[in-house]
């Protein structure tokens, strides 16, 4: 059964300002408690539809890499990517940005696409037994840190 975790936050900045930060995957480690950034791979040099990225992650002394592909790139509204380890699954991630009178609302969503084996293996590699609960906390922290940085 697929799990979906969604968090949202109002940010006092324009959609374009927020967009420029969230598409900068190598710098995501500035806000995320789990992702440390990473690098563009397989000929990709920056964010665009179809670009590939190797995310570097860590949690409580454990570290791992996560291959992602950008699946949606609709500036400055929607940025989405999938993390897949074929054939055992992964997760889909998205950021939706909506203008508001005070700036914008940013909604981050995670959709669990892991197979049973990936849930077991992933838990051992990451040290995170309850991925949905942990991911919700991580997403809230990421949006909070992003807002702090951009709002000054």
CATH at 85: 3.30.530.20
pLDDT of 1: 59
7-36 pLDDT per residue, tens: 999 999 999 999 999 999 999 999 999 999
In angstroms, rounded to a whole number, what is the distance separating the alpha carbons of residues 60 and 116? 23
Q: What is the pTM of this model?
A: 0.94
User: At residue 2, does pLDDT exceed 80?
Assistant: no
* Range 107-117 burial, b when 16+ CB lie within 10 A, else e: bbbbbbbbeee
Instruction: Compute the Cα dihedral for 35, 39, 45, 48 and give only its sign.
Output: negative
In angstroms, rounded to a whole number, what is the distance separating the alpha carbons of residues 79 and 28? 13
In angstroms, rounded to a whole number, what is the distance separating the alpha carbons of residues 93 and 49? 14
CB atoms within 10 A of CB 43: 7
In angstroms, rounded to a whole number, what is the distance separating the alpha carbons of residues 104 and 16? 9
How far CA 29 is from CA of 25, 26, 96, 142, 147, in Å, comes to 8, 7, 19, 9, 14
81-105 pLDDT per residue, tens: 999 988 888 999 999 999 999 999 9
Q: How confident is the model at residue 120 (pLDDT cuts 50, 70, 90)?
A: confident
In angstroms, rounded to a whole number, what is the distance separating the alpha carbons of residues 1 and 41? 31
Q: How many domains does the chain have?
A: 1
pLDDT of 152: 85
Show the domain range for 103. Answer: 4-151
pLDDT-wise least confident of 61-65, 118-122, 128-132: 118-122
Reply yes or no: is the peptide bond before residue 35 cis, omega within 30 of 0.
no
Token pair belonging to 64: 């791992």
């Amino acid at each position: 059964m697929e799990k979906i975790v969604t968090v949202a936050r109002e940010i006092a900045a324009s959609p374009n300002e927020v967009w420029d930060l969230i598409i900068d995957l190598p710098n995501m480690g500035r806000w995320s408690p789990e992702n440390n950034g990473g690098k563009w791979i397989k000929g990709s040099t920056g964010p665009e539809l179809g670009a590939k990225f190797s995310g570097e992650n860590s949690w409580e002394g454990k570290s791992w890499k996560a291959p992602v592909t950008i699946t949606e790139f609709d500036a400055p509204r929607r940025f989405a990517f999938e993390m897949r380890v074929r054939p055992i699954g992964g997760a889909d991630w998205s950021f939706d940005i909506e203008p508001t009178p005070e700036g914008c609302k940013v909604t981050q969503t995670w959709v669990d696409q892991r197979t049973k084996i990936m849930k077991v293996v992933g838990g051992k590699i990451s040290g995170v037994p309850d991925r949905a609960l942990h991911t919700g906390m991580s997403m809230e922290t990421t949006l909070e840190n992003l807002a702090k940085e951009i709002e000054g």
